[in-house]
Amino acid sequence: MDFILQVLIIIGIHSILTMSLNYVAGFTGLMSINHAAFYGMGAYATAILSTQYDWNFFLTIPVGIVIAGIVAWLVSFPMLKMKEDSFVLVSLGFAIIMFNIMQNWTDLTKGPLGIKGVQAPMLGDFSFFAKPLFLVLVIVAAALTYWFLNRILKTPYGTILKGARENETVARVNGHNVVSYQRSAFVVGAIFAAIAGAFIASFISFVNPKAFELIISVYLLIMIILGGMASLPGSILGAFIMLTSLEVLRFAGVSAEWQQILYGFILIVIMFFRPQGILGKYKI
């Protein structure tokens, strides 16, 4: 039971990540592979403030949000000058830079050793340390993420984001300042990634740079492509399938290398036979 709760919590946290990445990549068309960098910023904000300054988990979340939001806003200026393939490459560059900062700014992040002893969420004297309670908290956060993003996407604001994804020239000729919409989507995506980061830091009680390296962003992309591009339920489904299959494969004794090969294979098969993913509404 404890194991199942643990898997469900991880799926819940990844659902926040995949929904926010889908908002950026699936709905807005910005194929970002640096989502894990913002995830890391939220995680490190919580880890550092919790272990070094004894901050409450709930107070660390806004700090992670502000840091990720400001960094996303700043890097969006050079990134959004690039289009399509070039944008992917620039986001790759940013992911590499962020990973190296987490790895080498040892005074702040403790480098590859990571930070241990991140506190569980507390509300007064009430602790969410127990897994069922932590799961409830994660479900509430994931539900709020769904509600927030869905609310935007159901309005003309969401229509403009999709329009920018489909054809920037048409969106601009129709009167929309495409870059400002893309920037807002990128920042919102980064903010939710940071929230997911706060949860993972508190749940595992440990952060190190490896948890936020490039391959994590690639896995997140595979999850949304599998579950469905431009679909919030698809984002949750993709996280569920990928993470449960990971546990099943681990249980079956399949090595990490073979798991990676399998994920690569899944991505290739999806792109050939169902490019919009299982519940997706957008073909890449």
Question: Contact residues for another protein (CB under 8 A)?
Answer: 151-152, 155-157, 159-160, 162-163, 166-167, 169-178, 184, 281-283
- The minimum distance between CB 162 and another protein, in angstroms, equals 6
Give the residue from 178, 196, 176, 198 showing the smallest Cα distance to 186. Answer: 178
- The minimum distance between CB 64 and another protein, in angstroms, equals 20
**Residue 185 or 211 with smaller CB distance to another protein:** 185
- The minimum distance between CB 147 and another protein, in angstroms, equals 10
- The minimum distance between CB 270 and another protein, in angstroms, equals 17
- The minimum distance between CB 95 and another protein, in angstroms, equals 26
Please count the CA atoms within 13 angstroms of the CA of 36 that sit on its side-chain side. 25
**Residue 91 or 276 with smaller CB distance to another protein:** 276
- Spell out a b/e string for 244-281, using b for 16 or more CB atoms within 10 Å of the CB, else e: ebbeebeeeeeeeeeeeeebeebbeebeeeeebbbbbe
- Partner residues linked to 207 by β-bridges: 115
Instruction: For residue 177, count other CB atoms closer than 10 A to its CB.
Output: 12
Give the residue from 244, 239, 201 showing the smallest Cα distance to 222. Answer: 239
**Residue 173 or 252 with smaller CB distance to another protein:** 173
- The minimum distance between CB 194 and another protein, in angstroms, equals 17
Q: Does residue 14 contact residue 140 with C-beta atoms inside 8 Å?
A: no
**Residue 116 or 151 with smaller CB distance to another protein:** 151
Tokens found for residue 62: 């806004």
**Residue 169 or 251 with smaller CB distance to another protein:** 169
**Locus of tokens 């590499």:** 96
- The minimum distance between CB 219 and another protein, in angstroms, equals 25
- Spell out a b/e string for 197-235, using b for 16 or more CB atoms within 10 Å of the CB, else e: bbbbbbbbbbbbbebbbbebbbbbbbbbbbbbbbbbebb
**Residue 167 or 255 with smaller CB distance to another protein:** 167
Q: What angle do CA 153, 157, 15 make, to 5 degrees?
A: 30
**Residue 8 or 195 with smaller CB distance to another protein:** 195
